[in-house]
């Protein structure tokens, strides 16, 4: 059974970098897209980006160059860094697997506030 679990700080100060990790148990780490998705309070889902097992990455163009993602198959983890955060980045952050997202983490709420 595949399980994903997000971890990281729940509070980040404005202008700092939000860093999250998703730990994967079960299944293969290879030949998949590993995605980050967020959901601001009371709003819909927003795709942040993916890191593929090949090492390639891509992200939502609306986030410009603030997004960095990486994958460590030996640790069975992938990570998200979102720089220069503002209050608009306050959201529940999810990690998810695949082209269609068949497995999701439970989500981690992150608040941007001083």
Size of the site for another protein (CB under 8 A): 20
Determine if 5 is a binding residue for another protein (CB under 8 A): no
Task: Give the Cα separation of 99 and 101 in Å (integer).
Answer: 6
Residue located via tokens 């998705």: 37
Side-chain half-sphere CA neighbours of 75 within 13 A: 9
Joined together, the tokens standing for residue 58 give 């891509």
Interface pattern 29-48 for another protein (x via CB under 8 A):
------x-x------xxxx-
- Site residues for another protein, 93-112, by CB under 8 A, read 94, 99-102, 104-107
Report d(CA 101, CA 105) in Å as an integer.
10
Tell which positions 73-92 bind another protein, by CB under 8 A: none
**Cα–Cα separations (whole angstroms), residue 30 to 10, 33, 91:** 29, 9, 28
Kindly write out the interface string for residues 54-73 of this chain, putting x where it contacts another protein by CB under 8 A and - elsewhere: ----xxxx------------
Residues that bind another protein (CB under 8 A): 35, 37, 44-47, 50, 58-61, 94, 99-102, 104-107
């Amino acid at each position: 059974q595949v399980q994903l679990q997000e971890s990281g700080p729940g509070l980040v100060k404005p202008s700092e970098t939000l860093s999250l990790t998703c730990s994967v148990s079960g299944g293969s780490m290879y030949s998949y897209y590993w995605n980050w998705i967020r959901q601001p309070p009371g709003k819909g889902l927003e795709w942040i980006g993916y890191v593929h097992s090949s090492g390639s990455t891509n992200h939502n163009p609306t986030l410009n160059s603030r997004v960095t993602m990486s994958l460590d198959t030996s640790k069975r983890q992938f990570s998200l860094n979102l720089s220069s955060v503002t209050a608009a980045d306050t959201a529940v952050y999810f990690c998810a697997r695949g082209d269609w997202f068949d497995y999701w983490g439970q989500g981690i709420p992150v608040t941007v506030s001083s």
